[in-house]
Chain A
Amino acid sequence: MTELPLIGEAIAVAANPKLAGAKIGVVTFPGTLDDRDAVRAVRLAGATPVALWHADTTLGDVDAVVIPGGFSYGDYLRAGAISRFAPLMAKIIDAANSDARLPVLGICNGFQILTESHLLPGSMIKNDHLKFMCRDQVLRVENNTTAWTGDYAAGQEITVPLKNQDGQYIADEKTLDALEAEGRVVFRYVGFNPNGSRRDIAGIANAAGNVVGLMPHPEHAVEVGFGPESLDGVGGSDTDGLGFFTSVLNKIVGDNK
């Protein structure tokens, strides 16, 4: 009988032994909310999820890391500003910048933590309409060469939930121009800009493409019956977000060949 898993507890092991050998860490900070969801997404993609705790001082042998959404430390300072100083973040920053280029995905609050950590440029401020917004959002995959987007076609449109209060992406014009020129705008809002983000930017990558951050939540579009199509009937599918996790798995398994 399964127990009700405590937050971050990885409960099941994937069926495909080759994929299951891939370990993807999911970090929990105080106030993290979507960590169990990220664990589920990793599991459904076929990998083995590993629960990581913000105060840990080692990453262990994980092959990639997801920093999930939530309100770490309540977002009472600037979102992500405190979490960025967690002992584990120092390890993640080092691993992301190392020659091994550890794949790191920051979702929502995770994206905010990555910008605060200077793994990604720019910052997020309050939505232009000043309200929390939960909606199903169409995104265009602008770059399918990152560690987290290889399974999508360039220009593919996907629908995943978006839910945040501080989702307006900003950076100075020079940075924005550089991101565009280097192809580092990975996702753009299509049809509707839900928060006033500059140039409709929903997600970006670092120069090497191993670190990706975005405000929408791909881990909430990974399971039939629980995604945007089932909840809101918006068309598309329930599982458009699964590609993030299969992409990184294919990369890991490919790299380890």
Chain B
Amino acid sequence: MTETSAGSITETKKFNIDTVENAAKTPDVELPWAELGLKQNEFDEVVKVLGRRPTGAELAMYSVMWSEHCSYKSSKNHLRQFGDKVTEEMKKDMLVGIGENAGVTNLGDGWAVTFKIESHNSPSFVEPYQGAATGIGGIVRDIISMGARPVAVMDPLRFGAIDHPDTARVMHGAVAGIGGYGNSLGLPNIGGEMVFDSVYQGNPLVNALAVGVMRHEDIRLANASGKGNKVVLFGARTGGDGIGGASVLASESFDDTKPSKRPAVQVGDPFAEKVLIECCLELFKGSLVEGIQDLGAAGISCATSELASNGDGGMQVELTSVLLRDPTLTPGEILMSESQERMMAVVTPENIAAFEAVMDKWAVEYSWLGEVTDTGRLIITWEGEVIVDVDPRTVAHDGPVYDRPYARPEWQDAVQADSFTGSVQDAGRPSAPAELAAAITELVASPNMCDKSWITNQYDRYVGGNTAMAFPDDAGVVRVDEETGLGVALATDANGRYTYLDPYHGAQLALAEAYRNVATSGAVPMAVSDCLNFGSPEDPDVMWQLAEAIRGLSDACMVLGIPVTGGNVSLYNQTGTTPIHPSPVVAVLGKFDDVARRTPSGWKEDGQAIYLLGTTAAELDGSEWSNLRGHLGGLPPKVDLDSERALGEILINASRDGMVDSAHDLSEGGLAAALVESALRYGVGARIALQDVLDRDGVDLFTALFSETQGRAIVSVPRSEEIRFTDMCTARSFAHVRIGVVDAEGGTLEINGVEPMNLDALREAHEATLPKYFG
């Protein structure tokens, strides 16, 4: 017998099963659609689609699949631009685009890479450890579902004010959860972000990125094809955790009037996931599955309806065959449960024995639920009685789509008119040498610019043996092919303050920075994944921010020539009527022919020349410096994507031809932060003189150090390569100026006009901040 004996739970459970037959006979039964998160018009639409009232089980399915989290009903109309604004050139390396579990990009030599970034924000506020842990688990299963071996993770984090008592709760829990889960999977954590801002106090952002690699022939898609093929559920058992996670938790705003939502958070078991990874890879290697889908948000509801609607259109499933952790679960709860570490696959009858052998080898539990049909209907039975009879497309794809009203907020003009320069907070701007040194020290010790090793030392960056670069360098770099050195680079970036000041350009700035980070490491940018964290789409101000950010991002992708291959939208990140800063987190993936060519961010060799690439304008609005002084207003730095592209080409060529030994991009904290970070990376200082920059760009020393003008980087160049390097910049008409030399002896960072800074003292200031607040 194929169903294990433990799967038979019906004898212990007596429900009043709401069958399709019963629903047709009792049209007036009151159903709890509002409690499940559906709106009146949406419930009416379900009734119209079915031609009768839904059964309890059908209502459960529609409520989760039509939730904001699963259906993208508020963002869909805008997200189309990612698919529309794509040239043939951008498509040439895209093997699988938006819509599957994750996009797939061609790396050459028969290799492909898949990556995606997702949010797990609300669960991570309610229960930080499990919320963050299962965020890693979910994104990793998306990567496995594509047929890939996961090879690394990253985690961009945004928490409330560093000194708020609740921030420590979220920080300790989320970091331990990410480490506890990711470390146990054997996936190196190669980077991320850490931003503290009171706007995230009640709505921390815990985003997770995973990347995986595969041979072209191993790409798998989520579809159920071939009448008579068997449908199997394997991995962990289904329990009562995460019920309504997508519909209720992720699609509503928090307020104090409702009971705790703890039961809606899933609980992770990383050991089960690690075994699941190996077991799936063995299934792929033996070509034992026709289609595969991970169970994430909306659990079995999502997996069955998506597999069926993407395949031949029909599936028959017996729900009592699902293995349960809790035998008291109702059919609706089983359909909605978001228990982790589960996968659903479609297997031909000939492969059943081989499939079961793999399960037995890895001691993974499984149960055969039903089979693929050609009826165009998804039929779910309970002890043979039909409790769901739907067209799966109506569940998975034909959910409501809203053209939410949006308008430029009335306050936007006033915010943009309030420049930092000349503001009250700008009074007493540092200018004397001692003041500038103190300002630089204050900057690099500030919550957002300080050393993050308190976090990253809790993550394994070595496991797998293919990590060529990791945090705090500009991008994480992982080798894919051990023989050739072929590999990938990844960086994620967002700036909520910039995006608040100007959503269109703020989103572009996030993309520009991630692109620049990847190019700074020496990799060629190839693809984009985005996690759009915003407030409530029912607020026209927020909806405008979202619309503008998507428009800006898609326009910028066209200019940079790299497509969005997947991502996720997280809405309702607000407390009461106060939304977070709009925070589109953008991940860029790049390619190395040989990761040995990667460029680290720190100085090493004494006497190497340091060059500043790009020009500097007076752009302090939205900067880390203005943030430290408590100001947020004006316009973010100007976006110049052509210049970013030109800078990227210089950095990539310099890496490929061995012209630079280090490179570091200029972003938050400007030149001041970049110089200190390059010095502290390996404890090697420099002597810097910025007079040529001040003369050329017409800025003062403070502005040269703290402005956040985009399209800039610093590089260190061996003497032997200096002429070749400057000739390349000149030939490309790209601004470059020699600003100093690496000084491995002095143990100081000396900047003309700034009191010399001892590296040990800088390091102490840089590293003390997180331990001070978090122990």
State the A residues within 8 Å of B (CB). Answer: 1-4, 6-7, 30-31, 33-34, 36-37, 40, 70-71, 73-76, 131-135, 161, 163, 165, 217, 219-220, 223, 225-226, 230-231, 233
Interface centre among B176, B184, B281 (most CB of A within 10 A): B184
B463 within 8 A of A: yes
Q: A2-B483, A6-B278, A226-B467 are in contact. Are A161 and B271 (CB under 8 A)?
A: no
Could you give 11 example pairs across A and B, Cβ below 8 Å? Answer: A6-B281, A30-B274, A40-B482, A70-B186, A74-B271, A76-B271, A132-B180, A132-B458, A163-B183, A225-B596, A231-B468
Q: A31-B271, A74-B269, A226-B467 are in contact. Are A233 and B278 (CB under 8 A)?
A: no
B396 within 8 A of A: no
- Are A37 and B463 touching (Cβ within 8 A)? yes
Interface string of B70-107 (1 = CB under 8 A from A): 00000000000000000000000000000000000000
- Are A132 and B183 touching (Cβ within 8 A)? yes
Q: Which residue of A lies closest to B600 (CB)?
A: A233
Measured between beta carbons, the chain B residues less than 8 angstroms from A34 are 186, 463
In the assembled complex, the CB of A248 is this many whole angstroms from the nearest CB of chain B, namely: 19
- Are A131 and B458 touching (Cβ within 8 A)? yes
In chain B, positions 285-317 with a C-beta closer than 8 Å to chain A are 285
- The complex places the Cα of A230 from the Cα of B462 at a distance, in Å, of 11
Q: A4-B214, A133-B458 are in contact. Are A219 and B465 (CB under 8 A)?
A: yes
- Are A161 and B604 touching (Cβ within 8 A)? no
- The complex places the Cα of A40 from the Cα of B459 at a distance, in Å, of 22
Measured between beta carbons, the chain A residues less than 8 angstroms from B456 are 134
- Are B149 and A4 touching (Cβ within 8 A)? yes
- Are A37 and B465 touching (Cβ within 8 A)? yes
- How many residues on B have C-beta within 8 angstroms of the other chain's C-beta atoms? 52
- Are B462 and A134 touching (Cβ within 8 A)? yes
- Are A231 and B270 touching (Cβ within 8 A)? no
Measured between beta carbons, the chain B residues less than 8 angstroms from A217 are 462
- The complex places the Cα of A34 from the Cα of B469 at a distance, in Å, of 18
In the assembled complex, the CB of A238 is this many whole angstroms from the nearest CB of chain B, namely: 11
Measured between beta carbons, the chain B residues less than 8 angstroms from A30 are 271, 274-275, 362-363
Q: A6-B282, A30-B363, A134-B457 are in contact. Are A161 and B462 (CB under 8 A)?
A: yes
Interface centre among B176, B272, B285, B457 (most CB of A within 10 A): B457
- Are B465 and A223 touching (Cβ within 8 A)? yes
Measured between beta carbons, the chain B residues less than 8 angstroms from A131 are 176, 458
How many A-B contacts are there with CB distance less than 8 Å? Answer: 106
- Are B466 and A233 touching (Cβ within 8 A)? no
- Are B479 and A2 touching (Cβ within 8 A)? no
- Are B461 and A134 touching (Cβ within 8 A)? yes
Measured between beta carbons, the chain A residues less than 8 angstroms from B214 are 4
Contact of A4 among B213, B275, B467, B681 (CB under 8 A): B213
B722 within 8 A of A: no
Q: Which residue of A lies closest to B182 (CB)?
A: A132
Interface centre among B186, B270, B285 (most CB of A within 10 A): B186
- Are A33 and B479 touching (Cβ within 8 A)? no
In chain B, positions 359-402 with a C-beta closer than 8 Å to chain A are 362-363
In the assembled complex, the CB of B568 is this many whole angstroms from the nearest CB of chain A, namely: 26
Describe A's contact surface by its main secondary structure: loop
B263 within 8 A of A: no
Measured between beta carbons, the chain A residues less than 8 angstroms from B186 are 33-34, 70
- Are B463 and A163 touching (Cβ within 8 A)? yes
Measured between beta carbons, the chain B residues less than 8 angstroms from A135 are 457
- The complex places the Cα of A121 from the Cα of B601 at a distance, in Å, of 44
Interface centre among A1, A161, A225, A230 (most CB of B within 10 A): A225
Q: A37-B465, A133-B458 are in contact. Are A6 and B285 (CB under 8 A)?
A: yes
Measured between beta carbons, the chain B residues less than 8 angstroms from A36 are 464-465
B539 within 8 A of A: no
- Are B184 and A74 touching (Cβ within 8 A)? yes
- Are A226 and B468 touching (Cβ within 8 A)? yes
Measured between beta carbons, the chain A residues less than 8 angstroms from B470 are 231
Interface centre among B149, B179, B362, B465 (most CB of A within 10 A): B465
- The complex places the Cα of A256 from the Cα of B724 at a distance, in Å, of 55
- Are A231 and B271 touching (Cβ within 8 A)? no
8 closest A-B pairs (Cβ-Cβ)?
A74-B271, A33-B186, A233-B682, A37-B465, A220-B462, A71-B184, A161-B462, A163-B460
- The complex places the Cα of A101 from the Cα of B462 at a distance, in Å, of 31
- Are B469 and A231 touching (Cβ within 8 A)? yes
Q: Which residue of A lies closest to B684 (CB)?
A: A233
Q: Which residue of B lies closest to A71 (CB)?
A: B184
State the B residues within 8 Å of A (CB). Answer: 109-110, 149, 176, 179-180, 183-186, 213-215, 218, 269-272, 274-275, 278, 281-282, 285, 362-363, 456-470, 479, 481-483, 595-596, 600, 602, 604, 681-682
- The complex places the Cα of A193 from the Cα of B345 at a distance, in Å, of 48
- Are B180 and A74 touching (Cβ within 8 A)? no
Interface centre among B274, B467, B596 (most CB of A within 10 A): B274
Other A-B pairs beyond A71-B184, A133-B458, 8, CB < 8 Å: A4-B215, A7-B278, A33-B463, A74-B272, A76-B271, A132-B180, A226-B479, A230-B468
- Are A233 and B285 touching (Cβ within 8 A)? no
Measured between beta carbons, the chain B residues less than 8 angstroms from A71 are 183-184, 270-271, 274
In the assembled complex, the CB of B227 is this many whole angstroms from the nearest CB of chain A, namely: 32
Q: A30-B271, A131-B458 are in contact. Are A231 and B467 (CB under 8 A)?
A: yes
- Are B215 and A3 touching (Cβ within 8 A)? yes
In the assembled complex, the CB of A74 is this many whole angstroms from the nearest CB of chain B, namely: 3
- The complex places the Cα of A76 from the Cα of B274 at a distance, in Å, of 14
Measured between beta carbons, the chain A residues less than 8 angstroms from B459 are 132, 134
Q: Which residue of B lies closest to A129 (CB)?
A: B775
Measured between beta carbons, the chain B residues less than 8 angstroms from A3 are 215
Q: A220-B462, A226-B465, A226-B466 are in contact. Are A31 and B274 (CB under 8 A)?
A: yes
- Are A33 and B274 touching (Cβ within 8 A)? yes
Q: Which residue of A lies closest to B172 (CB)?
A: A131
- Are B463 and A231 touching (Cβ within 8 A)? no
In the assembled complex, the CB of B96 is this many whole angstroms from the nearest CB of chain A, namely: 18
- The complex places the Cα of A231 from the Cα of B180 at a distance, in Å, of 22
- Are B458 and A2 touching (Cβ within 8 A)? no
Measured between beta carbons, the chain A residues less than 8 angstroms from B269 are 74
In the assembled complex, the CB of B451 is this many whole angstroms from the nearest CB of chain A, namely: 13
- The complex places the Cα of A201 from the Cα of B681 at a distance, in Å, of 29
Measured between beta carbons, the chain B residues less than 8 angstroms from A73 are 271
- Are A2 and B184 touching (Cβ within 8 A)? no
- Are A31 and B184 touching (Cβ within 8 A)? yes
In the assembled complex, the CB of B223 is this many whole angstroms from the nearest CB of chain A, namely: 23
Measured between beta carbons, the chain B residues less than 8 angstroms from A74 are 184, 269-272
Measured between beta carbons, the chain A residues less than 8 angstroms from B274 are 30-31, 33, 71
- The complex places the Cα of A40 from the Cα of B466 at a distance, in Å, of 11
Measured between beta carbons, the chain B residues less than 8 angstroms from A4 are 149, 213-215, 218
Measured between beta carbons, the chain B residues less than 8 angstroms from A163 are 183, 460, 462-463
Interface centre among A74, A219, A231 (most CB of B within 10 A): A231
- Are A40 and B362 touching (Cβ within 8 A)? no
In the assembled complex, the CB of B66 is this many whole angstroms from the nearest CB of chain A, namely: 36
- The complex places the Cα of A213 from the Cα of B463 at a distance, in Å, of 19
- The complex places the Cα of A134 from the Cα of B184 at a distance, in Å, of 13
Q: Which residue of B lies closest to A53 (CB)?
A: B361
Q: Which residue of B lies closest to A41 (CB)?
A: B465
Q: Which residue of A lies closest to B480 (CB)?
A: A4
- Are A220 and B282 touching (Cβ within 8 A)? no
In the assembled complex, the CB of A154 is this many whole angstroms from the nearest CB of chain B, namely: 27
- The complex places the Cα of A135 from the Cα of B456 at a distance, in Å, of 10
- Are A233 and B602 touching (Cβ within 8 A)? yes
- The complex places the Cα of A134 from the Cα of B109 at a distance, in Å, of 34
- The complex places the Cα of A64 from the Cα of B213 at a distance, in Å, of 32
- The complex places the Cα of A192 from the Cα of B269 at a distance, in Å, of 33
In the assembled complex, the CB of B655 is this many whole angstroms from the nearest CB of chain A, namely: 14
Measured between beta carbons, the chain B residues less than 8 angstroms from A230 are 468-469
In the assembled complex, the CB of A144 is this many whole angstroms from the nearest CB of chain B, namely: 25
- The complex places the Cα of A161 from the Cα of B184 at a distance, in Å, of 17
Contact of A220 among B176, B465, B681 (CB under 8 A): B465
In the assembled complex, the CB of A4 is this many whole angstroms from the nearest CB of chain B, namely: 6
In the assembled complex, the CB of A64 is this many whole angstroms from the nearest CB of chain B, namely: 20
- Are B468 and A225 touching (Cβ within 8 A)? yes
